[in-house]
Amino acid sequence: MTAELLRLIQWLSPAFPVGGFAYSHGLESAMVSGAVRDGAGVREWVGDVLAYGSGRNDAILLARGLAGGDLEDLSDLARAMAASSERLREMMDQGAAFAMATSALTGMDLPARPLPLAVAQAARGLDLPLETVLSVYLQSFAGALVMAAVKFLPLGQTEGQGILQALQPLVLEIAKDAARPDADFASSAFGADMAAMEHEILEVRIFRT
């Protein structure tokens, strides 16, 4: 199990070539507008996206994929739930890159899918508890957003890591909830969704989304 956990952590680490550093999930728009301007704002924003937006829905998609759900149907559902064209591109581009890199490393023939379903297909063969896989995925999701904020705002690396550490109880809570067989999709992170849409017409930007 230890070797398989290390494999999962490698797949979901910032060093894995999915290009996660290039995406902000709409957070850049919020920082440009001043809606998010400091560490407290970053923590609240990322926490809301995790609990009420894409984070939780991604975790449920991943859980259903790991449980043997039809990956084609779940991929269609993931695409349909994308709140904006950039969100869709972010999910698909990272999923395709993940599938390509994982296929090269493992010898598996993984097709391009939305990121949580690409991870689900690759991780089906790992002997790991469901909540563990969901927690590592959500930690990676949160880490990418926090690092985007560190690049943009006057936040140091240490403060960024403090934010990520403070979000860990929430990550574990969401993973536990998403692992329930009756967990269902929902989203009420409307500010984050609107920020993702606004990013599509942002004239000067450093992130793709």
* DSSP result, 32-99: HHTSS-SHHHHHHHHHHHHHHSHHHHHHHHHHHHHTT--HHHHHHHHHHH-SSHHHHHHHHHHHHHHH
When the pLDDT of each residue in the chain is averaged and rounded to a whole number, the result is 96
Q: Express each pLDDT in 12-25 by its tens digit.
A: 999 999 999 999 99
Q: Round to whole Å and give the CA distance between 206 and 204.
A: 7
pLDDT in tens, 161-192: 999 999 999 999 999 999 999 999 999 999 99
Q: What angle is formed at CA 116 by the lines to CA 114 and CA 121, rounded to 5 degrees?
A: 90
pTM of this structure: 0.97
pLDDT digits (tens, 9 = 90+) for 69-110: 999 999 999 999 999 999 999 999 999 999 999 999 999 999
The C-alpha atoms of residue 208 and residue 194 are separated, in whole angstroms, by 16
Residue 43: pLDDT above 80? yes
Residue 134 near residue 175, CB atoms below 8 Å: yes
Rounded distance between C-alpha atoms, residue 91 and residue 78, angstroms: 9
Residues 47, 35: Cα–Cα separation, whole Å: 15
> Can you tell me the distance from the alpha carbon of 207 to that of 193, in angstroms, rounded to the nearest whole number?
16
Residue 126 and residue 133: Cα distance in Å, rounded?
9
Instruction: Give the angle 77-78-81 at the CA atoms, nearest 5°.
Output: 85
The predicted pLDDT at position 204 comes to: 85
Summarised one tens digit per residue, pLDDT across range 106-155 is 999 999 999 999 999 999 999 999 999 999 999 999 999 999 999 999 99
Find the distance separating the first CA and the last CA of the chain, reported in whole Å: 36
